Amino acid sequence: MNGFYSSERVRIDLGDERSYHIAIGTGLLAEPAAFEVARAGSAALIVTNTTVAPLYADALARALAGRHSQVARLVLPDGEQYKTWDSLNLVFDALLGGGFDRKTTLYALGGGVVGDMTGFAAACYMRGVPFVQVPTTLLAQVDSSVGGKTAINHPLGKNMIGAFYQPLAVVCDLDLLKTLPARELSAGLAEVIKYGPIADMAFFDWIEANIDALRACDATALAHAVQRSCQLKADVVGQDERESGLRAILNFGHTFGHAIEAGMGYGAWLHGEAVGAGMVMAAELSRELGLVDAAFVQRLTGLIDRAGLPTRGAVIDADDNAGRYLQLMRVDKKAEGGEIRFVVIDGPGRAAVRAAPDALVRQVIDRCCA
Ligand code: NAD
Ligand code: GLY
């Protein structure tokens, strides 16, 4: 296979026939063999958006042409604010209107927004059709395309309507990251950095040493970041696919981050930016709980800053900022009986899920918000 990094394949082992591979390499979009997992002769629908379609939809359609009887495409509006029922319905309109049957394969060509929505559409259409993730952002390559979480947003909460539904395969072509704006690359680095404090401080050391190369889109550095992130995520998802416990650690920084996204209005802050500031807040909370020291929080904050991400939370309500955070965080999926549960760092490289007194959380929010 041209340009295929055959050594860079990560397996998501779910213990049954739903297990699949993540292919990580260059030139994959031009390589029909990278997509051979889909049922030969079936129809295909590429779901993408107005930004990604002109860049990559033709190349993907060419790669799929020999395998599928028909390759159609649907171009959705671009943006987190369109991760909605309306956009989801556009996918169903295209599928039903085009007479697509239950053997149809959906291809999610885009970042996490397209990936999450396409996956949810695949989970629902005719009670489930196969889909393949072709992530085009760093964030999607290191996190959202892997592990089968699919969703749309609700005005009252982020990713609140969705399903666990695994793709047939994930194809990460690193070449696609060359067109990614710098701000989006930084947003993806938030999810790369996340894996260090929760699971692998040696990887954290490596990110610190290579952050400039990553921001400069150095191919070797990006390949390692994607491969290691996917491996760490695969290890967690393989143990706890449906987040009955361990998988929650992948949400480090997300409880505060989701409140920022919903509180500011979806799209105002990028998901990765909200996670960056959210990780600082979660680390501060960990310090308040006596689990890590100030030097650790400072080190993490320094790396988030060097990644080009915000290290201060947003003010989402001028009158009662902490109160609004608490209100939004109570609808977090990890909350139980109205009690918010936070992913905290329980010593560098180890995460835990804990409740914390409201008064303490308020202090952290007051201290961390601009
Ligand atoms: P995104 O999908 O909005 O993409 C970011 C922007 O980059 C968009 O404008 C997009 O059109 C553009 N873009 C995409 N690929 C490009 C390319 N190669 N070149 C130029 N522009 C390109 O955002 P994202 O950061 O990829 O994903 C964020 C979403 O992922 C959020 O909705 C978040 O909730 C979700 N998410 C899901 C999971 C999961 O496990 N399912 C995990 C993390 C995040
Ligand atoms: N991004 C968090 C998870 O997949 O569980």
CATH of the domain at 282: 1.20.1090.10
For a pocket test of ligand 2, which of 12, 159, 250 has the largest count of ligand atoms closer than 8 A to its C-beta? 250
Could you tell me which residues come within 8 angstroms of residue 181 by beta carbon, excluding any fewer than 6 positions away? none
3-state helix, strand, coil in the chain (%, to 5): 50, 20, 30
Q: 212 and 159: one domain?
A: no
Q: 238 and 357: one domain?
A: yes
* Confidence class for position 336, pLDDT limits 50, 70, 90: confident
Residue range 124-171, pLDDT digits in tens: 999 999 999 999 999 999 999 999 999 999 988 889 999 999 999 999
Could you tell me which residues come within 8 angstroms of residue 39 by beta carbon, excluding any fewer than 6 positions away? 103, 105, 130
Identify the domain containing residue 136 by its residue range: 4-179
Ligand nearest to the CA of 145: 1
Phi, psi of 189 (to 5 degrees): -65, -25
Q: Strand, coil or helix: what is 10?
A: strand
Residue range 36-90, pLDDT digits in tens: 999 999 999 999 999 999 999 999 999 999 999 999 999 999 999 999 999 999 9
Q: 208 and 150: one domain?
A: no
- For the Cβ of 273 lying below 6 angstroms from any atom of ligand 1, the answer is no
Q: 133 and 267: one domain?
A: no
State the chain's mean pLDDT as an integer: 95
Atom 2 of ligand 2: nearest residue by CA position: 250
pLDDT at 249 over 90: yes
Question: Taking a C-beta distance cutoff of 8 angstroms, is the pair 222, 200 a contact?
Answer: no
Q: Which CATH number covers residue 83?
A: 3.40.50.1970
Looking at the structure of the chain, the number of domains it has is 2
CA-based nearest residue to 261, from 133, 120, 113: 113
Q: 19 and 101: one domain?
A: yes
User: Does 336 qualify as catalytic in the annotation?
Assistant: no
pTM assigned to the model? 0.96
Q: 174 and 196: one domain?
A: no
* CA distances for 246 relative to 13, 239, 255, 340, angstroms: 16, 8, 16, 17
Q: 216 and 354: one domain?
A: yes
Q: How many percent of the chain have pLDDT more than 90?
A: 94
The pLDDT, as a whole number, for residue 338 is: 85
| Residue that is last in its domain, among 145, 179, 213 | 179
Residue range 9-46, pLDDT digits in tens: 999 999 999 999 999 999 999 999 999 999 999 999 99
Rounded to an integer, what distance in angstroms lies between the CA atom of residue 211 and that of residue 203?
A: 12
Q: 192 and 278: one domain?
A: yes
User: Does 149 qualify as catalytic in the annotation?
Assistant: yes
Atom 3 of ligand 2: nearest residue by CA position: 250
| Residue that is last in its domain, among 179, 200, 227 | 179
Q: 55 and 96: one domain?
A: yes
Rounded to an integer, what distance in angstroms lies between the CA atom of residue 348 and that of residue 30?
A: 41
| Residue that is last in its domain, among 141, 160, 179 | 179
User: How many angstroms does the Cα of residue 114 sit away from the middle of ligand 1?
Assistant: 7
Residue range 98-120, pLDDT digits in tens: 999 999 999 999 999 999 999 99
Q: 157 and 186: one domain?
A: no
Q: 211 and 170: one domain?
A: no
User: How many angstroms does the Cα of residue 206 sit away from the middle of ligand 1?
Assistant: 24
